[in-house]
Amino acid sequence: MKQYCNRWTEVRQLLVIGWPIIVAQVSQTGMGFVDTLMSGRYGPQDLAAIAIGSSIWLPIFLASSGVLMATTPLVAHLVGGNQLTRTREVLGQGGLIALVLGVLSVLILHNTLPLLQWMAVDPELAVKTDSYLKAISWGFPAILMYQVIRSFSEGFGKTRPIMKIAILGLLANIPLNYVLIYGKLGLPELGGVGCGWATAIVMWLTLGAGILYLRRSTTFIECRLFQSSLLPPIQTLGHFLRLGLPIGMALLIEVSMFAIIALLLADLGEVIVGAHQVTLSFTGMIFMIPLSISMALTIRVGHRLGANKQEGARVSAATGVMITIGFAVVSATTMVLFAPQIVSLYTDSEEIIEIAVRLIGIAAVFQFSDAIQVSCAGALRGYKDTNIPLLIVFIAYWVIGLPLGFMLARTDLLVPAMGAEGFWIALVIALTIAAAMLARRLIWRSRIGAAN
């Protein structure tokens, strides 16, 4: 009976931490939806510029954010151990790394025209895409520094303020897009490039809200964040980077794999590409829920280990995995039963609907392995274990998944070429391998305790 109560308490704690993260993630995704919708109404070339530009800046942002996600487990361990004043060291380390990554991002995004020319993008579209990337780049230093603040707050288990800031950003993005795209209030009409400037402004507003939250919240009084300089000694950055770089690389591997798949399908025609994009869009939205539980797991496991509660960390990890599996049952069942209705929300093309329904059927299968792998990865971050998970992700996605997908989709080596379905079947296999290896790693880590 006691074990049952402990498990139920853990479920409640994970959901209390996790649901604001879900709302925050959906709000961030919603900004991209708003950009796509508003730029698409302005003109097809502007929509194309944002689509191409997003495929360039988004991987840079996710990889950089992944590095900064090391803030969460580092802070969570210190909070669990009641070492609150030491958390300011982590905030300073993350802030300095974020500033460096932000400046590098600005430099990269200001020099993308040669890449666009190499990709054989139409010259006029390339110029518009380049202008969009230059505009949005000015927000990168701000949003990356905010990612540190977000991870810092989440390390304390405080996720509701982050949710409110994310909603604020989404609400601010809509009027800013309107004013800058269509040239209202005496401002020039910028079209799709205006989305870049609007997003950059929102990024700085988000940082301002984050700093204001740190200054005014009573949660951080004992941390003494602003009593002296937050700049850390350079030699203290090593531990942060050893934990964060593998997280960033793992995210980059995953994102780049989906980008490569899209490129490898590009010459099969707009129907195949459209069906793939619809499936990817829907499954990506669904993925926000297990991803958010995974982030909550990092916090809970870190708190338990910081307090030297090894058994509590094991309970948190196991409970989190079971929650995501339970959600996978719901999502997979929904996808199997309502695939035609789901696809019809995206398009009225019968050809796309026919193919996308089959792809969503395949995607329903990997809901289980995807839930297991993402929750295990989140728990392992709580254990400060990121190097081996990076190796596992690389093997599963790039050594097995992508080559196998190419053989199934584009060649007759194993079976007659299957098109998009071949890549999605390979994703099922890759995710299942990743899930099995990460689960085994989590079981081993939970027995020996956290990494140093």
pLDDT digits (tens, 9 = 90+) for 394-417: 999 999 988 998 899 888 888 888
Distance of CA 32 to the CA centre of its chain: 13
Q: What angle do helix axes 160-182 and 140-155 make, rounded to 10 degrees?
A: 160
pLDDT class for 353, splitting at 50, 70, 90? Answer: confident
Average pLDDT over residues 275-297: 84
Contact 204, 139 (CB under 8 A): yes
Average pLDDT over residues 239-267: 82
Average pLDDT over residues 93-119: 90
Average pLDDT over residues 313-338: 91
Q: Residue 229 has what pLDDT?
A: 64
Higher local confidence (pLDDT), 258 or 134: 134
Q: Is the pLDDT of residue 228 over 70?
A: no
Taken in order 20, 285, 389, 237, the sign of the CA dihedral is negative
How many percent of the chain have pLDDT more than 90?
34
At 16, the amino acid letter reads V
Q: Residue 267 has what pLDDT?
A: 67
Contact 264, 409 (CB under 8 A): yes
Q: Is the pLDDT of residue 4 over 60?
A: no
Nearest to 354 by CA among 287, 292, 272: 272
**184-188, 323-327, 439-443: lowest mean pLDDT where?**
184-188
**CA-CA-CA-CA dihedral for 172, 174, 179, 185, to nearest 10:** -50
Which of 35-49, 282-296, 406-420, 434-448 holds the top average pLDDT? 434-448
**179-193, 259-273, 387-401: lowest mean pLDDT where?**
259-273
Domain boundaries, the chain: 13-232, 269-452
Higher local confidence (pLDDT), 237 or 371: 371
What does each C-alpha distance from 88 to 148, 197, 229, 235, 271 come to in angstroms? Answer: 11, 32, 10, 16, 52
- Give 91's contacts (C-beta < 8 A, 6+ positions apart): 71, 75, 148, 149, 152, 223, 225, 230
